[in-house]
């Protein structure tokens, strides 16, 4: 039985139909993890959540903010708190100290040299059965210091490469951000592994190895998500869920718009918005065969590894698999929820 079918049956038999957005079955209901900024209470209405705010506050995106305020005091109209996505559409993200890692190069964060634990830890988190899993064993890996893009590559950034004829233009398709208005600060999508590699080279960078991507996202303490082991929700990642206002509605959002999902090193959107190409060829058994230092992936293969989740994924599904989940696609595949970011070795 193929892995995907076996996993689907596992979910069904365990009674987890709520993963796929079925109404009325999400543990805790639609108000789970909705705090209304501490200035109101959450009320459930027809499987949707809304905030009933205290006097002097108004509801906006499942937050209660001061009436007449934008919620973060900067007057720009964004209820973002930590991240201000610029209106100049240059692709830059202004980040306040709540989510700032050490930086050497502009737009990148530094991940120091050292070891981390990679893969799924069955003693701490849910892992697929051994015959189906491709992210076991849980193992220690050493990586040299490297830098990783703080956010996914944006439309405006990628356009510069395409206009210079160094990159192929993204494929046109439904919700292709390159060809939609007012999405310069959204992640570029409909790009292949080759497109991603070309862009990173254009910037003097390279695609991240799978190990680099995972360390940048979860740090060294074995956490299940960039922010820790607390459950994923739509305030921490651009993810999908029925009836929740803060969740994605069939499209991406501006990069960096979920600062609560910040990784230990200051990387954003490691969970949600778009899935991300990495350098490595895919092998189901690679984690049991990989070298303990600076693994680069198998020498050859048929498909490339893709990491992370996108706006298309329901938060319940994400909470079961965590950021140790691996996917794999052909190198020339281009999808509506697939993008990338770049890395380079630390100077």
Condensed to tens digits (0 to 9), the pLDDT of residues 111-155 reads 999 999 999 999 999 899 999 999 999 999 999 999 999 999 999
What is the longest distance spanned by two Cα atoms in the chain? Answer: 63
Element containing residue 278 per DSSP (H, E) = strand 275-281
d(CA 177, CA 311): 13
Query: How large a percentage of the chain has pLDDT more than 70?
Result: 74
Task: Tell me the C-alpha to C-alpha distance, in Å, between residue 154 and each of 160, 187, 274, 321.
Answer: 10, 4, 11, 26
Taking residues 84-104, report their average pLDDT: 53
Q: Is the pLDDT of residue 289 over 60?
A: yes
* Confidence (pLDDT) at 35: 59
Tell the burial category of 58 from Cβ atoms under 10 Å away from its Cβ (0-12, 13-18, 19+).
middle
Contact indicator for 67, 58 with CB cutoff of 8 Å:
yes
Could you tell me which residues are beta bridge partners of residue 140? 117
Q: Which residue has the tokens 């993204």?
A: 170
Task: Tell me the C-alpha to C-alpha distance, in Å, between residue 31 and each of 232, 233, 243, 314.
Answer: 14, 11, 10, 16
CATH number 3.20.190.10 given to 88-345: no
Structure confidence at residue 38 as a pLDDT band (50, 70, 90): low
> For 314, phi and psi rounded to 5 degrees?
-70, 140
Q: Is the pLDDT of residue 90 over 80?
A: no
The CA-based angle 279-283-286, given to 5 degrees, is: 90
Which of the two residues, 61 and 13, has the higher pLDDT score?
Answer: 61
Taking residues 290-310, report their average pLDDT: 97
Structure confidence at residue 100 as a pLDDT band (50, 70, 90): confident
Which of the two residues, 283 and 81, has the higher pLDDT score?
Answer: 283
- 42-54 pLDDT, tens digit per residue, is 887 766 777 787 6
Residue 284's contacts (CB-CB under 8 Å, 6 or more residues apart) are 3, 134
When the pLDDT of each residue in the chain is averaged and rounded to a whole number, the result is 82
Residue 75's contacts (CB-CB under 8 Å, 6 or more residues apart) are none
Q: Strand pairing of 326-329 and 40-45?
A: unpaired
Q: How does DSSP classify residue 287?
A: G
Which of the two residues, 177 and 66, has the higher pLDDT score?
Answer: 177
Q: Where are the domains of the chain?
A: 35-79, 88-345
The CA-based angle 330-322-132, given to 5 degrees, is: 60
* Confidence (pLDDT) at 267: 97
């Amino acid at each position: 039985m193929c892995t995907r079918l076996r996993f689907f049956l596992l979910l069904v038999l365990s009674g987890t139909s709520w993963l796929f957005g079925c109404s009325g079955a999400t543990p805790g209901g639609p108000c789970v993890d909705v705090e209304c900024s501490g200035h109101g209470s959450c009320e459930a209405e027809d499987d949707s959540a809304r905030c009933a705010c205290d006097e002097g506050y108004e509801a906006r995106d499942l937050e209660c903010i001061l009436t007449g305020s934008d919620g973060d005091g900067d007057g720009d109209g964004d209820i973002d708190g930590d991240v201000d996505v610029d209106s100049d559409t240059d692709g830059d993200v202004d980040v306040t100290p709540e989510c700032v890692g050490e930086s050497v190069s502009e737009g990148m964060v530094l991940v120091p040299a050292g070891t981390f634990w990679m893969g799924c830890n069955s003693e701490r988190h849910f892992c697929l059965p051994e015959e189906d899993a491709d992210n076991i064993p849980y193992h220690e890996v050493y990586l040299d210091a490297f830098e990783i893009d703080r956010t996914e590559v944006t439309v405006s950034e990628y356009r510069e490469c395409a206009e210079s004829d160094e990159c192929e233009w993204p494929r046109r398709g439904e919700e292709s951000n390159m060809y939609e208005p007012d999405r310069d600060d959204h992640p570029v999508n409909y790009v292949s592994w080759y497109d991603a590699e070309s862009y990173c080279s254009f910037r003097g960078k390279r695609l991240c190895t799978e190990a680099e991507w995972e360390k940048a996202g979860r740090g060294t303490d074995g956490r299940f998500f960039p922010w820790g082991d607390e459950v994923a929700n739509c305030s921490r990642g651009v993810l999908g869920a029925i009836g929740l206002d803060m969740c994605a509605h069939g499209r991406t959002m501006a990069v960096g718009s979920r600062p609560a999902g910040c990784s230990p090193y200051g990387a954003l959107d490691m969970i949600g918005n778009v899935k991300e190409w990495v350098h490595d060829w895919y092998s189901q058994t690679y984690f049991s065969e990989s070298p303990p230092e600076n693994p680069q992936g198998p020498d050859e293969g048929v498909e490339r590894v893709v990491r992370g989740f996108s706006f298309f994924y329901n938060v319940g599904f994400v909470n079961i698999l965590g950021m140790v989940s691996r996917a794999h696609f052909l190198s020339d595949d281009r999808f509506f929820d697939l993008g990338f970011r770049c890395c380079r070795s630390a100077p």
